[in-house]
Amino acid sequence: MKQESRKPAVLFLSLPILAWAFFDFANTIFSANIVTLFFPQYITEIIGTDERLEQISSTVIAYANAGSALLLILFSPLFGVLMDRSGKRKKYIIIFTLLTVAASILMGLFGGMNTGTILGIPNGLFLTIMLFVFAKFTYGSGNVFYDGMLSSLGNKKEVPLISGFGVSLGYLGTLFGIFSVLLIVGDSGIHNAFWLSGILFLIFALPLFLINKDPAQKVKPKQNFLKGYKDIYHTFKEARKYPSIFFFMIAYFFVNDALATAIAMMQPYATTVVGFESGVFLIVFMVATLFSIVGALVFGFINQKYGSKPTFSIIGLLLAVAITIAAIPLPMWTFWIAASLFGIAMGSVWVVSRTIIIELSPVGKEGQFFGLFAFSAKMSAIAGPFIYGTITLVLSDLGTVASRIAITSLLLMVIIGLYFHSKVNISDTNPQA
C-alpha cells in the first residue's frame, strides 16, 4: 500500500528525521571547519611564505585530500555491501564518528608541536597532515552509512524534502561551528580549531546515536568480508544493465570532481590568488554557507516539483558559471558572486544526487548502489585534487597563474559531467515503495 506523504512541518519535526538531520549539522562542522577552512589555513600559514611556496602549500592541501579519498576508494564499496548484508547503519555511523572525533582532537594536540622532524618535516606538521588524511577518511566512511539511512526515513515523495532539510541544517552547523571557534579559540593558534571542531561534531551527533534505529531487515548469510570486492564488481556489471545509473555515476564523477576540489581549495585560492585576508575570507565563506542553506531548501522543492534530472542540470550550470568567474582575473568583488554560486551548488548537489540514486536503484539494492555512488564520489575526490595539486606543483614558478590554470581545469570536468547527465532517464527505474 502506498504511504501518504506527510506535510513538511510534520515531516521535519519527526524525531528520527530531526535526529538524522542534526547529524548533518554535526558532520558539516567537521567538513567546513577542518576540511575547508582551518586545515588549509594551517598549512598555508606554515608552508606558504612566498608566492612559490603558496602554490606548494596548495599542492600539500590537495594531495592530503586526495590521500583520504584514496583510502575511501579502497573501502567504500565494501561498506555498501555490508549495509545490505547486515542491515546496520547506525552502528557504523557511531564507530566512524568516534574515530573522526579522536583524530580531530589529536590534530589539535599535535598541530602546535615542534619538537623535532619526521622525514625532514616538522613533526607537528607531519602528524597533523597524517591525522587529517585519516579523519577525512573516517568522516567519509560514516557518511556512506548515513546516506544509506535516508531511504528508511520516508517514502519516495518525502525523500527530497528530508534530504534538503538535512543539508540545510548541516550548513547551519557550518555557521555555528565557525562562530564557536572564533568565540572560544580566538587568536590562540589555528590548531586549536581542530580539537574544538571534533568535540562539537560529537555533541551534535548524539541525537542520532540515541534516537534513530535501523529498520528490521532480514540478515543475509555471513560470507568472507573480502568477497565484498567481488560483489561490488558484480554490482558494477549490474549497473551497466541500467544505463541511467551508469551514466549518472559518470556524470556525478565529473561534477563532484569539480565541486569537491573547489570546496577543498577555496581557502588557499581566495587568500593567495584573489587576495582576501583570512578574516575576510571567513565572511565570504559564511555568505557562501548562507546560500548553501537556501540552495538546499529551495532545490529540495524544485527537485520535488520538476524532477531530479533538470534540477541537477541547473546545479551543474551554476557551478560552471561560478568556476568561470573565479578563474578570470576580475575585480575582487566578483568573487563574492562566485562564492555565492558555489554555495548554492554545494548545498543542493547532495540533496539532488542522493535522491537520484534512490530513484534509480533497483528495489532492495539501495545499499550496493550507494556504495557505488560513494565509489564514484571518492574516485572524483582523488582525481580532482590530484590534478589541481599537480598543476600548482609543476607551474609553481608562475605564482598565482598556476592556481588560475588549475581552477580552470574544473570547468572542463563540469562540461563533461553535464554531457553524461543528459543521457540519464529517470523514468528508467524500478518503482520504489
The mean pLDDT of 59-83, rounded to a whole number, is 83
Percent of the chain at pLDDT > 70 equals 87
More confident residue, 96 or 75: 96
The yes-or-no verdict on residue 372 having pLDDT over 80 is no
The yes-or-no verdict on residue 230 having pLDDT over 80 is no
Cα distance between residue 10 and residue 18, in whole Å: 11
The yes-or-no verdict on residue 270 having pLDDT over 80 is yes
> What pLDDT was estimated at residue 83?
73
The yes-or-no verdict on residue 201 having pLDDT over 50 is yes
> What pLDDT was estimated at residue 338?
93
Helix (H) or strand (E) holding 122: strand 121-122
Cβ–Cβ < 8 Å for 140, 72: yes
More confident residue, 90 or 96: 96
Rg over alpha carbons for the chain, rounded to the nearest Å, is 21
The mean pLDDT of 365-373, rounded to a whole number, is 69
The yes-or-no verdict on residue 215 having pLDDT over 80 is no
The yes-or-no verdict on residue 336 having pLDDT over 90 is yes
Percent of the chain at pLDDT > 90 equals 29
The mean pLDDT of 167-173, rounded to a whole number, is 78
The mean pLDDT of 234-239, rounded to a whole number, is 74
Give the dihedral sign, CA 426/357/295/407.
negative
Task: State the chain's maximal CA–CA distance in angstroms.
Answer: 66
Cα distance between residue 248 and residue 315, in whole Å: 14
Which residue ranges form the domains of the chain, and what is each CATH number?
A: 15-211+233-421 (1.20.1250.20)
> What pLDDT was estimated at residue 223?
57
Cβ–Cβ < 8 Å for 293, 172: yes
The yes-or-no verdict on residue 84 having pLDDT over 80 is no
Cα distance between residue 142 and residue 76, in whole Å: 10
Query: Binning pLDDT at 50, 70 and 90, where does residue 127 land?
Result: very high
Cα distance between residue 282 and residue 11, in whole Å: 33
What are the pLDDT digits (tens) for 376-408? 777 777 888 889 999 999 998 888 899 999 999
> What pLDDT was estimated at residue 219?
58
> What pLDDT was estimated at residue 4?
66
Query: Binning pLDDT at 50, 70 and 90, where does residue 432 land?
Result: very low
Cα distance between residue 258 and residue 417, in whole Å: 9
Helix (H) or strand (E) holding 117: strand 117-118
Give whole-number Cα distances, 249 to 10, 205, 256, 376, in Å.
33, 29, 10, 6
The mean pLDDT of 279-291, rounded to a whole number, is 86
The mean pLDDT of 50-67, rounded to a whole number, is 88
Cα distance between residue 334 and residue 213, in whole Å: 46
- 413 CA to centre of own chain: 17
> What pLDDT was estimated at residue 326?
93
> What pLDDT was estimated at residue 433?
36
Cα distance between residue 289 and residue 178, in whole Å: 11
Cβ–Cβ < 8 Å for 320, 414: yes
Cβ–Cβ < 8 Å for 152, 10: no
**Number of Cβ within a 10 Å radius of residue 240:** 9
**SS3 at position 317:** helix
Query: Binning pLDDT at 50, 70 and 90, where does residue 366 land?
Result: low
What are the pLDDT digits (tens) for 296-324? 778 878 887 888 888 999 999 999 999 99
> What pLDDT was estimated at residue 174?
83
The yes-or-no verdict on residue 1 having pLDDT over 50 is no
Mean pLDDT of the chain: 83
More confident residue, 421 or 152: 421
How far does the chain reach from its first CA to its final CA, in angstroms?
8
Cα distance between residue 337 and residue 309, in whole Å: 25
> What pLDDT was estimated at residue 225?
57
State the DSSP string of 218-236.
Answer: PPPPP--TTHHHHHHHHHH
DSSP-H helix ranges across 149-226: 159-184, 192-211
The yes-or-no verdict on residue 431 having pLDDT over 50 is no
Phi-psi region of 153 (alpha: psi -120 to 50; beta: other; left: phi over 0): alpha
> What pLDDT was estimated at residue 195?
94
